[in-house]
Amino acid sequence: MEARCVVCGKRPAKLIKVERNVGMVVLRTAHRADGPFCREHALAAAKANLGRTLVTGWWGVESFFLNFKAIATDVAAMKSAHELPPAESEQSDAW
């Protein structure tokens, strides 16, 4: 059975991982979401995390270098999402 999107429940969905890195000079936080996403929600999650990472990920020495990994993960997620066909709406068979 084909996986369903964790956000909307539509198919097809693919296991996709997105990351966000937030640097805070001395500390850093990393956020990760992974699961089956449809094309629309995978692209939205990857773009949102990539945008935040590009703005907030550079502050701090460790965070600066780990930011490149988060960027690569999100770019790979967008590429993977583009390979999915658009999600189809579920139609019920009950008339």
Evaluate if residue 93 carries a pLDDT over 60.
Answer: no
- With H, G, I as helix, E, B as strand and everything else as coil, classify residue 17: strand
17 within 8 A of 73, measured Cβ to Cβ: yes
Q: Would 25 be classed as within a structural domain?
A: yes
Query: pLDDT tens digit string along 33-63?
Result: 999 999 999 999 999 999 999 999 999 999 9
| Residue 76: inside a domain | yes
24 beta partners: 27
pLDDT digits (tens, 9 = 90+) for 11-39: 999 999 999 999 998 899 999 999 999 99
- Total domains in the chain come to 1
Q: What is the pLDDT of residue 58?
A: 94
Domain, as residue range, for 54? 14-82
Distance CA 15, CA 19 (A): 14
Q: CA–CA distance from 37 to each of 22, 29, 41, 91 (Å)? A: 23, 23, 6, 19
Note whether 19 and 32 are within 8 A (CB). Answer: yes
Q: Is residue 90 part of a domain?
A: no
Residue 6 lies in a domain: no
Residue 47 placed within a domain:
yes
Identity of the residue numbered 62 = E
